[in-house]
Chain A
């Protein structure tokens, strides 16, 4: 679902907007770029979408080969 459509759904709702936001799945990348004016219904909707569409930061794990201990046996 597009973020703008999700915001519109929340803003026009007369129900529990936490519950509404919980059921809306939006693109994480689009959500990260979305902005809204403060003290507007859109800002409230955006905050709720971000609350329930948590995106985990990408963590790159580099595989490092263990150092081999020098062979001291003769």
Chain B
């Protein structure tokens, strides 16, 4: 789907996810639909909360998108070979959050990581004023570690692996 042609100067980003223990992730087409779909997770108001969503208290939003993948072809006698873009896997998001054993979102992510087969819709919301641009994707949590070193606050680190092709952009 096309990226919304809207520039948000000085925006802030946040991570949201479906709150149900066994959610039904949005279908690929619905990941690009703001009203009644993405808004059920991030709410209709900037930095609000949808009825079926919860904010994930992350330190920062990591890079997201797709990895690089290419095939290298060569022709005998040619000095240079040719690089052809090929099917690239979506970029996994390794996320760090302050570990709070009472936080519902982090407990749900830990539960997903134990399972490994729970598909859930995540939304990265970029907000500037009343404008929201949302990147929604379906993914599974594949790692969950708690780092409880005595010299610093406890942190948890987890990785969200997006499902291939299941993403969409929308905005309000």
Task: Check: A17 CB closer than 8 A to any chain B CB.
Answer: yes
In the complex, whether B33 has a CB less than 8 A from a CB of chain A is yes
A29 and B60 alpha carbons, distance in the complex (Å): 50
Alpha-carbon distance A17/B168, docked complex (angstroms): 11
Does B29 sit within 8 A of A, measured CB to CB?
yes
Cβ-defined contact, A17 with B35, below 8 A = no
CB of A13 within 8 A of CB of B29, answer yes
CB-based nearest A residue for B172: A39
Q: What total of chain B residues lie within 8 Å of the partner, measured CB to CB? A: 17
Partner of B34, one of A10, A14, A39: A39
Query: Which residues does chain A contribute within 8 Å of B138, judged by CB atoms?
Result: 14
Set of chain A residues within 8 Å of B33, measured between Cβ atoms = 39-41, 44
Is the CB–CB distance between B25 and A14 below 8 Å? yes
Contact residues of B: prevailing secondary structure: mixed
Residues of B within 8 A of A13 (CB): 27-29
Q: Is there contact, CB below 8 Å, between B35 and A44?
A: no
Determine whether the beta carbon of A44 is less than 8 Å from that of B164: no
Whether B47 is near chain A, meaning CB under 8 Å from some CB there, is no
Q: Kindly state whether residue B132 has any CB partner on chain A within 8 Å.
A: no
Complex interface residues of chain B between 1 and 51 (CB less than 8 A to chain A): 1, 25, 27-30, 32-35, 37
B29 touches A17 (CB 8 A): yes
* A41: contacting residue among B25, B37, B164, B165, CB under 8 A: B37
The answer to whether A41 and B30 have CB atoms under 8 Å apart is: yes
CB of A3 closer than 8 Å to a CB of B: no
Interface residues of A (CB under 8 A from B): 10-17, 19, 39-41, 44-45
B contacts, CB < 8 Å to A: 1, 25, 27-30, 32-35, 37, 138, 163-166, 170
